[in-house]
Amino acid sequence: MRTEDGEAIISKIVEGWGKPYTKQISALGAYANILQYEVEFSLPTQTKPIPDRTVRVTFNIIQHNDGKYDIDFNFESESLKHKLNNTMRTNMFEQWIGRILENKHKIKQELHLGTEFEYTRQTDKNDKPSDPFCPSFDIQKIKMLNNHMDKSQKINVDSPRFISTLERAIVKLFKDLDPDETGVLTYT
C-alpha cells in the first residue's frame, strides 16, 4: 500500500469524527508492514482562529499478505490501543476529543493562572489587581539591581590583566579535568 492510499483511508475514517474540529493528517512513516499516521484535531473559533490546544491521534495501518489490513489507533494522552469498529462507537469520537481538549484547557488555566478570577485574587495594598506573574517586589529588586549595575565597576575584557586571569582560570580548569595529563579530555 502506498502512503497516499493510507492517507486516503485515514481521511475517510476521521471525516465523521466530530464536525466542528479541523483535522490535519501527517504520515509518520512506514515500518515493515505498518504505515503510521498522525491526525491532529483542533477547534478554531471566531475569537481564536488559531487554536491553543490540539489532540493528536496516532493510527497504524497493519497490512497483511493477502492484501487486507487492520487499523488501530490511540489518543495522545492514553496508552490504550483502539481497534477500528471494535473498541469504540463512532459517535463517541467527538466526545472523546472534546474531553481531552477540555482537560488540556483546565490544565492550562491552572498552570498559568490565566483566568480573570485568578488574576483578581492577587491584589496590592490598595486592593487593586496585581499581576500574579510579576509581583511588585520583584520589579523593585530589578530596579535596584539595575541601579547597582550602573554604579558597579565595568570590566574591560580587552585588558591584558583580565585576559591573563581568564587564561589562568581556564588552564586550571583543564588540568582539573585532565588528572592523567594526557592533554585531551574524554567524553566523561
Residue 129 domain-assigned?
no
CA dist., res. 148 & res. 181, Å (int): 43
Residue 178 domain-assigned?
no
Burial (CB count within 10 angstroms: exposed 0-12, middle 13-18, buried 19+), residue 6: buried
Residue 8 domain-assigned?
yes
Mean pLDDT by 10 residues, the chain (188 residues): 79 79 86 89 78 85 88 84 73 80 76 56 67 54 62 69 85 86 81
Residue 18 in contact with residue 97, Cβ under 8 Å?
Answer: yes
The whole-number pLDDT of residue 99 equals 84
CA dist., res. 73 & res. 80, Å (int): 9
The whole-number pLDDT of residue 126 equals 76
Residue 60 domain-assigned?
yes
Whether the model pTM is above 0.75: no
Structural domains of the chain, count: 1
Q: Determine the structural domain holding residue 16 and report its residue range.
A: 3-112
Q: Which residues pair with 26 in a beta bridge?
A: 38
CA dist., res. 131 & res. 114, Å (int): 10
Residue 6 in contact with residue 18, Cβ under 8 Å?
Answer: no
